[in-house]
Structure 1
Amino acid sequence: MAMSKAHDAALLRAAGRLLVRRADGRQPPRRLPRPHVVPGPYVPEWWMSGVNSTYAGIWWALPAAGPELRLGSPDDPFVQDVARHARLLQASRVGYRGRNDLYEAYIHGDEPGEMQAVPPVPGLSAEQSRQINLRVGRGRGIRVQPGRDSEFVLLHTDYFAVWDRARAYAAATVRLLQARL
């Protein structure tokens, strides 16, 4: 899994670099980004946990929308495809950044199985209090805030779809570049 993440992040960086260089009218770079992989048949656990915890730098490799518009009109299907995949990657970034905003600490209520939000910290806003309660570990556990289940499912889906979206963006970029040769 870590190897796949490292390769997908390098693929996304290479696709973005090729697209920008072509849009600027420059030659392709002599060297494309390569995955940072430990050589040899044995991959140490520290390397795999480092890649998995940092997501192989995929969040810094996400492309900005726009360079594809310099290679054709907005009505061109190849340009639209690349722009659509860039927007989907940005949705994954939103899911990544907002993944912790939906949780709250809870305590058990009076009834069996009932859960209530931990009371707010006096003197703090509701949002600051929610964050403090989560970080300090007040309460019995954490849960998704009531009424935000559909938002949680959408953010969770977008967050973990980044790998598939990175490969789809790279494939769309290659199709656009081949059409412009």
Structure 2
Amino acid sequence: MNRSWQSTVDALADRAEQAARSSARVSEAKDELVRIRPAHLAELSESDPAAYRRQVEIHVRSGGFAQAQRALLGAVALSKAHDAALLKAAGLVLRRRADGRPAPRRLPSPRVLPGEATPKWWIDSVNNSAAGIWRVIPEPGPESMLGARDDLLVQDVAQQARRLQASLTGHRARGSYYEAYEPDPAAADGHGIRPVPALPGLGERVSRQVNLMRSQSMRVPASRLDEFRQAGHDAFAVWERARGYGDAVVALLRSVG
């Protein structure tokens, strides 16, 4: 591996380490929220539910809880920014190496604020945009140009890409499981519900979307709950899978030399 590519792979490995550290800080922030939770709440939850609710309300209004919660929200946003930048960089580097092109002059950087600043507007921006991660989901393929099909490192990159594709599919599909519903006067007990009938002249997808916009009640049909949960799991797992892809790309590129 020439010096330019070696530096690029080292830089990508550093991005992967940054993403791993950011993810670890999320776990630490979650642990801190658990640590400051008053010990007696666990006992009250069963012995005196009303007192439990009062004490929980007092706790969540405390300065310590607010500070720990802000730290967690900031850590999550920073982690997302690092994961998205890692995924974009890994896809870019892998494609250029597979195509035989020169190493990129620089790698995509996470869009983070300088210092330790994590204001609410920035956190909301990261969460609303998912840090742009859905626009950089890679497809399997480029790795096959860097080794034999039975090479375990090549297979790992391809597998990580397929897992990310499953996350993208879950993200896109989650909204399609909802349907509008209305009371069903024909139900035996008079309290049943039924899907809102399709609108004449519209296709199933468009009719469902119009009904959802017009209705105040929606649900996921029981028959599709397992699919809905799997889609949610896949979508949420995109951050961990981004780090897995980055690590796999680094390992493959290091082996290529």
Instruction: Mark yes or no: TM-score above 0.5.
Output: yes
Aligned to 1:125: 203
CA drift of 1:112 comes to: 6.0
Within the candidate set 138, 142, 152, 1:77 is matched to 152
Q: Tell me whether 1:158 sits opposite 2:231 in the alignment.
A: no
Q: One-letter code of the match for 1:44?
A: P
In 2: Cα distance, 1:38 partner to 1:4 partner: 13
RMSD over aligned CA atoms reads 1.5
In 1: Cα distance, 2:118 partner to 2:143 partner: 37
CA drift of 1:146 comes to: 3.6
Unpaired runs of at least 5, structure 1: none
Q: Which stretch has the larger CA shift, 115-124 or 4-13?
A: 115-124
Which of the pair is proportionally richer in helix?
Answer: 2
In 2: Cα distance, 1:84 partner to 1:161 partner: 14
For the residue of structure 2 that corresponds to 1:22, the secondary structure is helix
CA drift of 1:64 comes to: 2.1
CA drift of 1:109 comes to: 2.8
Q: One-letter code of the match for 1:178?
A: R
Within the candidate set 82, 87, 90, 2:162 is matched to 87
CA drift of 1:113 comes to: 5.4
Q: One-letter code of the match for 1:170?
A: G
Aligned residues: 179
Within the candidate set 33, 36, 46, 2:108 is matched to 33
For the residue of structure 2 that corresponds to 1:64, the secondary structure is coil
Unpaired runs of at least 5, structure 2: 1-75
Q: Which stretch has the larger CA shift, 16-25 or 71-80?
A: 16-25
Aligned to 2:255: 179
Of structures 1 and 2, the one scoring higher in RCO (CA 8 A, sep 6+) is 1
Q: Return structure 1 stretches of 4+ with deviation > 4 angstroms.
A: none
For the residue of structure 2 that corresponds to 1:101, the secondary structure is helix
In 1: Cα distance, 2:191 partner to 2:160 partner: 43
In 1: Cα distance, 2:190 partner to 2:90 partner: 54
Q: Tell me whether 1:167 sits opposite 2:243 in the alignment.
A: yes
For the residue of structure 2 that corresponds to 1:124, the secondary structure is coil
Q: Tell me whether 1:114 sits opposite 2:192 in the alignment.
A: yes
TM-score normalized by structure 1?
Answer: 0.92
Q: 1:26 to 1:124 in 2, by over 3 A?
A: closer
CA drift of 1:131 comes to: 0.9
TM-score normalized by structure 2?
Answer: 0.66
In 2: Cα distance, 1:16 partner to 1:120 partner: 42
| Percent of pairs with identical residues | 51
Q: One-letter code of the match for 1:83?
A: A
